[in-house]
Amino acid sequence: MLSNRNNNDFYSTNELSSYNNKSIDVEADTPIVVTTALPYANGEIHLGHISSTYLPADIFTRFLRISKKKVFHVCASDDFGTPILIKAEQEKKTPKEFVEYWNKRDLEDFNAIGISFDKFYKTSSHENQEFVQNVFNKLRNNGHIYEKEVIQFYCDFDNKFLPDRYVIGTCPYCKSNDQYSDLCEKCGRVPEEILDPKCGICGKSPIKKSSNHYFFKLSNFSDDLKEWLTTNNNLQVDIKNYVLHWIEEGLQDWDITRDLDWGINIPVNDAKGKVFYGWFDNHLCYISTFNTLIKEQFGKDGKDVWNTSTIYHFIGKDIIYHHFLFLPAIRMGINMEYKLPDYIPVRGHLMLHNRKISKSRNWYISLREFISTFNPDYLRFYIASISPSNQDDINFDWDVFSSKINNELIDNIGNFINRTLSFTKKHYDGIVPEPGIYQDEDQKGLDTIMTISSEIEELFKKTETDKVLKTILKFSNFFNQYFQKKQPWSDKSSAATTLYISINAVRVLAVLLLPFIPNSVEKIWSQLNNNNKLYEESWDDLSKLKVQPGHRIGKISPLFKKIERNEIEKEKTKLGTIS
């Protein structure tokens, strides 16, 4: 059940516009382009999407921003294709209305969990349509496109070709009725040939008819792809080997045509009623969206910026094939007008209590539902703390979630912050005290603050978010120990020094945690009563003692609310029962 809480307001909206300071010269420093895989505009975002793609990208992006790098995070909704057409018809909406709804809804959900895009656009934008058609024409002129007749199901009654999703029949494997010809939702397999096919619109038996399709000669690029995969050392080795294996087996040319009217028109006169296959246009939307953003922000041609940038495509492991083969091959096919990606961080899938997430089997947790009950930062913290920088699957478990949040985020980090600030309030009237002589313990504390940034920076760059968080927890744990050993409540002579150092450690923690729990960290900042904005902080200043003696801190209250046993039990019983 969803609460009435307005999730849009959870993260401040002017935060992003402040990042995008137009005075920054995009050419002065190497810009970084971060793209995230496009959500398909036919259903809600769930925890799996967040975990495999958007959160790792957002943490990375936020780290780059605080490191004062020029970074552009672009994404878009994937608006075309048969499943959308079918669902729109079911809901008696035009496909355009349907995808507009999901585009808006997805962005709201992303905002609610603090995924910060510089632009979230759509594959149905006129910019993308023109761009895709342009790319197609160039590929065609370069000899990478050919035409071929293919046999398709055709419904005489409805007078149209039936793409796979429009053909319903019996699964040849598990014999379930009423399954799509390209996917059996009962057994999860992809039928070779569906039994007893029926038209998904009128229910009559379709006939087979030939249709002229356009093919992309993926096979032209085998050598170039192999070369790229071998020489780009930023790509994950296990994935490279996996993809190289596909190339060895021989790449199939790729049918990029669909006999549909919901898609990007193929810019050829005799291709009326045909559109591009979604995977031809959707990843080109990374570029068209980026170009639109650069035009809007700087009035420039995005191409130049793109080609001088470092490019990251964040994806889940299910779309490796498209991103390691189709995407680069298409860019190669237009003479590298737009450079290839430098990095393709691939993450595994999120399991739910050790079972695969499946919407059709109702084994999933939607993002909306999650954040109607829990602080969105709890999800960010938990997922980040269990996400390795490889494509291993990870597991969402309500009990682990609750113990991580209560023990690590709240009891370790939250408590250190709270005890430090409360002590300052109580014994120093909220004024940061003047430090005295540094003893050994104090010096160790100062050293810990000094070295933390370089220790963490490397891990961030390798997108090892779980290790970053572990290091931050170690940092916080160190200061809990420090506080305990120094006993400022009884050792009055060194209490001022203890508090001065501790308060500065709180500030460091806030900056360190910004990429992970951006909302909560704003609260720390306001409790510290710093007079600048947190996002104006720079990573370079991380290890400085910037909270000065004499500074008055703000109002103190616990940052987090603990997760109660019964809340978790409630969530566990809800699993799989939501209709």
Partner RNA sequence: GCCGGAGUGGCUCAGCUUGGUUAGAGCGUUCGACUCAUAAUCGAAAGGUCGCGGGCUCGAAUCCCGCCUCCGGCACCA
Beta bridge partners of 199: 167
Segment interacting with RNA (CB under 7 A) among 106-114, 138-146, 387-395, 524-532:
387-395
List the structure tokens of 447. Answer: 């050293």
The DSSP bridge pattern shows strands 32-36 and 310-316 to be parallel
Q: Which of 423, 428, 460, 516 binds RNA (CB under 7 A)?
A: 423
Q: Which of 7, 19, 33, 39 binds RNA (CB under 7 A)?
A: 39
Segment interacting with RNA (CB under 7 A) among 146-154, 187-195, 335-343, 543-551:
187-195
Q: Which of 9, 304, 392, 564 binds RNA (CB under 7 A)?
A: 392
Contact yes or no for 281/293 (Cβ under 8 A): no
Q: Which of 68, 133, 142, 188 binds RNA (CB under 7 A)?
A: 188
How far apart are the C-alpha atoms of 43 and 88, rounded to whole Å?
11
Query: Could you say whether residue 458 binds RNA (CB under 7 A)?
Result: no
Backbone angles phi, psi at 578, to 5 degrees: -70, 130
User: Per CB under 7 A, which of residues 540..559 are in contact with RNA?
Assistant: 558-559
Closer CB to RNA, 161 or 475, in the complex: 475
Q: For residue 195, what is the enclosing H or E element?
A: strand 195-199
Residue-wise burial string across 300-332, b where 16 or more C-beta atoms lie within 10 A, e elsewhere: eebeebbeebbbbbbbbbebbeebbbbbbbbbb
Query: Could you say whether residue 356 binds RNA (CB under 7 A)?
Result: yes
Query: Could you say whether residue 210 binds RNA (CB under 7 A)?
Result: no
Give the interface size with RNA as a residue count (CB under 7 A): 68
Query: Could you say whether residue 182 binds RNA (CB under 7 A)?
Result: yes
For the bound state, the minimum distance from the C-beta of residue 160 to RNA, rounded and expressed in Å, comes to 21
Q: Which of 327, 451, 444, 348 is nearest to 394 (CA)?
A: 348
Query: Could you say whether residue 241 binds RNA (CB under 7 A)?
Result: yes
Contact yes or no for 56/36 (Cβ under 8 A): no
Exposed/middle/buried for 350, CB within 10 Å: 0-12, 13-18, 19+? buried
Q: Which residues lie closer than 8 Å to 302 by C-beta, 6 or more apart?
A: 287, 290, 291, 292, 293, 294, 295
Query: Could you say whether residue 489 binds RNA (CB under 7 A)?
Result: yes
Exposed/middle/buried for 212, CB within 10 Å: 0-12, 13-18, 19+? middle
User: Per CB under 7 A, which of residues 320..349 are in contact with RNA?
Assistant: 321-322, 325, 349
List the structure tokens of 323. Answer: 């991103």
Closer CB to RNA, 360 or 454, in the complex: 360
Query: Could you say whether residue 362 binds RNA (CB under 7 A)?
Result: no
Query: Could you say whether residue 238 binds RNA (CB under 7 A)?
Result: yes
Closer CB to RNA, 374 or 483, in the complex: 483
Query: Could you say whether residue 572 binds RNA (CB under 7 A)?
Result: no
For the bound state, the minimum distance from the C-beta of residue 394 to RNA, rounded and expressed in Å, comes to 7
Closer CB to RNA, 302 or 435, in the complex: 435
Segment interacting with RNA (CB under 7 A) among 18-26, 51-59, 223-231, 565-573:
51-59
- Cα 6 to chain centroid, rounded: 22
For the bound state, the minimum distance from the C-beta of residue 70 to RNA, rounded and expressed in Å, comes to 26
Closer CB to RNA, 145 or 325, in the complex: 325
Query: Could you say whether residue 350 binds RNA (CB under 7 A)?
Result: yes
Beta bridge partners of 208: 153
Query: Could you say whether residue 112 binds RNA (CB under 7 A)?
Result: no
Provide the residue count of the chain: 579
Exposed/middle/buried for 299, CB within 10 Å: 0-12, 13-18, 19+? exposed
Q: For residue 473, what is the enclosing H or E element?
A: helix 465-486
Closer CB to RNA, 177 or 484, in the complex: 484
- DSSP 8-state class, residue 363: B
For the bound state, the minimum distance from the C-beta of residue 462 to RNA, rounded and expressed in Å, comes to 12
Residues of this chain that bind RNA (CB under 7 A):
37, 39-40, 48-49, 51-53, 182-183, 188-190, 238, 241-242, 245-246, 249, 251-252, 279, 315-319, 321-322, 325, 349-350, 356-357, 386, 388, 392-393, 395, 400, 403, 407-408, 410-412, 414-415, 418-420, 422-423, 426, 477, 480-481, 483-485, 487, 489-490, 558-562
